């Protein structure tokens, strides 16, 4: 039988442990220097001799004090040092925070993103919060959004259901990007129309902010890259209790292979709704193809 003193000692330990965990989840992990998560893969039918390094940044969610311009600038310097052939931005530049936070103007975070550079350029898609947290675009029922304007001002193209052809070392590939699947209203994505723009047999890399599109992606696409989930923001033993996806943990995080089709879901950099991360630290993703 547990004594009264033993009960209160155990209870106090649990309270202190919970307080320490909460302090870490709010005060430390969200603001950590991003870890670099690396993936190396050769998708089916990938051309021999085509080696491509992609540096992927997702879910910046600019806001103070958690993701101020200075921190965004530091992340950009870290990303540049990774030697990517391309830098890909997977959406959700706006805050998405539901607790009180400081506003960061689009021109301020865009100025920091202008530090990014890569031989084959910097490319972006928009996320749901880039619509839902833009009252003007939502009221108008159409773009361009504030994020469209901010990225255009620094020369970063936004792939709204668009595909473009590139070459590296004499080998061709396509980069495609979907407009957002959630905001506004029924979503703006058009996967068939995007893939219809591809005019040869060169491999395709697809940017899609939300991973829920993946079951519809044909094996014509070598790799799908997504963000949005933040790894659930809380992740324990490979499981996320809450995932903003109709598929729950199926596409919560990491490299998933289904029927020889590949998707990599980034845990992202910022937070939304609440400034909490536990077991899902901020990350920059590096993908080596070929």
Query: Residue 212 above 50 pLDDT?
Result: yes
- Beta strands 35-41; 283-289: pairing state: parallel
Report how far residue 286's alpha carbon sits from residue 97's, in angstroms, rounded to the nearest whole number: 27
* Sequence-ordered list of residues with C-beta below 8 angstroms from that of 194, at least 6 positions apart, any chain: 161, 162, 163, 176, 177, 178, 206
Domain residue limits, the chain: 32-289
Kindly state the greatest CA–CA separation across the chain: 76
Q: pTM here?
A: 0.90
Residue 128 · residue 210 · CB < 8 Å: yes
- The mean per-residue pLDDT over the stretch 117-138 comes to 96
Tell whether the model's pLDDT for residue 26 goes beyond 60: no
The larger pLDDT score, comparing residue 30 to residue 127, is at: 127
Q: What integer is the mean pLDDT of 80-101?
A: 92
Residue 157 has a pLDDT of 98
How many whole angstroms separate alpha carbon 272 and alpha carbon 229? 10
What percent of the chain clears pLDDT 90, i.e. is strictly above it? 82
- Nearest CA to 101 among 275, 232, 280, 233? 275
Which strand ranges, in their side-by-side order, compose the sheet holding 283-289? 35-41, 283-289, 52-57, 86-89, 122-124
| Cα 108–Cα 89–Cα 61 angle in degrees, nearest 5 | 50
Residue environment code for 226-236, b if the CB has 16+ CB neighbours within 10 A, otherwise e: bbbbbbbbbbe
Taking 80 as the threshold, does the pLDDT of residue 30 lie above it?
Answer: no
Q: CA-CA distance, 275 to 29, in Å (whole number)?
A: 10
pLDDT digits 0-9 by tens, 169-186: 999 999 999 999 997 777
Residue 18 clears pLDDT 60, i.e. is over it: no
For 111-238, strand residue ranges (E) read: 122-124, 162-168, 171-177, 204-207, 221-226
pLDDT at res. 29: 56
98 confidence band (pLDDT: 50, 70, 90): confident
Residue 17 predicted with pLDDT over 50: no
Per-residue pLDDT tens over the stretch 233-271 = 999 999 999 999 999 999 999 999 999 999 999 999 999
Backbone angles phi, psi at 124, to 5 degrees: -145, 155
pLDDT tens by residue, 34-73: 999 999 999 999 999 999 999 999 999 999 999 999 999 9
Cβ–Cβ < 8 Å for 87, 123: yes
Q: For the domain 32-289, what is the CATH superfamily, name and number?
A: Metallo-dependent phosphatases (3.60.21.10)
């Amino acid at each position: 039988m547990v004594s009264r003193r033993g009960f209160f000692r155990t209870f106090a330990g649990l309270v202190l442990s919970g307080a320490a965990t909460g302090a870490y989840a709010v005060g430390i992990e969200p603001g950590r220097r991003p870890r670099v998560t690396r993936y190396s893969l050769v998708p089916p039918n990938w051309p021999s001799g085509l080696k491509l390094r992609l540096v992927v940044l997702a879910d910046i969610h600019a806001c103070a004090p958690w993701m101020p311009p200075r921190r965004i600038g530091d992340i950009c310097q870290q990303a540049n040092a990774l030697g990517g052939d391309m830098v890909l931005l997977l959406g959700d530049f706006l805050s998405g925070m539901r607790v009180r936070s400081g506003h960061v103007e689009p021109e301020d975070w865009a100025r920091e993103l202008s530090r990014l550079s890569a031989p084959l350029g910097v490319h972006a898609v928009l996320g749901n919060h880039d619509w839902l947290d833009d009252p003007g675009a939502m009221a108008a029922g159409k773009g361009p959004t504030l994020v469209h304007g901010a990225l255009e001002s620094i020369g970063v193209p936004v792939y709204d259901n668009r595909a473009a052809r590139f070459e590296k070392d004499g080998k061709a590939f396509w980069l495609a990007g979907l407009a957002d699947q959630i905001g506004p209203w029924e979503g703006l994505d058009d996967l068939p129309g995007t893939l219809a723009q591809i005019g040869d047999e060169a491999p395709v890399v697809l940017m899609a902010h939300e991973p829920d599109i993946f079951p519809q992606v044909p094996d014509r696409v070598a790799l799908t890259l997504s963000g949005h989930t933040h790894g659930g923001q809380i992740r324990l033993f490979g499981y996320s209790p809450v995932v903003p996806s109709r598929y729950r943990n199926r596409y919560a995080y990491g490299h998933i292979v289904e029927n020889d089709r590949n998707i990599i879901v980034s845990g992202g950099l910022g937070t939304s709704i609440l400034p909490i991360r536990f077991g899902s630290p901020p990350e920059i993703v590096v993908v080596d193809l070929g």
